[in-house]
Amino acid sequence: MVGKDKYGFRESFPRFYKADYELQKKVGTGNLDPNSVAKVQQFLDSVQTDIGPQLREYLDEIENTLKDARALSYGREEFLPKITKPLMNTKATSGMFQEMMVCRVSSFVLTFIEDVRKFDNDVADIIGAYIKVARMLLDLKIKDETNPHGQSFLTEIRNACKRYYDKQSSAVKG
């Protein structure tokens, strides 16, 4: 029997679909050659591209979606796909081009967004804070995950999410 989670929603388990033969013919099966993977990784590590403008475009897209969501009172199902796509793009692109602090913060916020059951002002405020933090990291050129300023930004985002979870759990209790 499937129970309800801490927010009162019914849990659903993932379903797995076996790929059909046509897809396997197009994509192929098996492992990638380790030498090919090493060559691609070496190339990606050697590229010195300023990815900041692209990341700023993703952040603008998140900000515009957030403005629309606040104005239209989106529900979770309307909001989630529109915000996660640019957030995933930010995370993936920043990780690929050594903007590791932006990648870490984006990863944390992405996990938070996927766990949110209802879009409300608190969620919007956390996303707004994420946008400010990500822009600040880009402006200050904080790339390294061990940078103390970057860690303080990440800690503040984590604390905001923790306060949100605490508030939600206390509202469920009583």
Full set of structural domains in the chain with CATH: 51-173 (1.20.120.160)
Query: In a 3-state reduction of DSSP, which class is residue 124?
Result: helix
Residue 70, C-beta contacts closer than 8 angstroms, at least 6 positions apart:
121, 124
Pairwise CA distance, residues 69 & 112, whole Å: 17
pLDDT at residue number 92: 93
Tell me the per-residue pLDDT of 15-72, one tens digit each, with 9 for 90 and over: 777 767 777 777 777 777 889 888 988 887 787 788 899 999 999 999 999 998 888 7
**To 5 degrees, how large is the angle CA 75–CA 81–CA 87?**
120
Residue 85: predicted pLDDT? 93
Q: Tell me the per-residue pLDDT of 102-133, one tens digit each, with 9 for 90 and over.
A: 999 999 999 999 888 888 889 999 999 999 99
71-94 pLDDT, tens digit per residue, is: 877 666 778 888 899 999 999 999
Report the alpha-carbon distance of residue 153 to residue 107 in Å, rounded: 14
Q: What is the pLDDT confidence band of residue 146, given thresholds at 50, 70 and 90?
A: confident
Distances (CA, A) of 154 to 5, 109, 161, 167: 27, 10, 11, 20
Q: Give this prediction's pTM.
A: 0.73
pLDDT of amino acid 3: 57
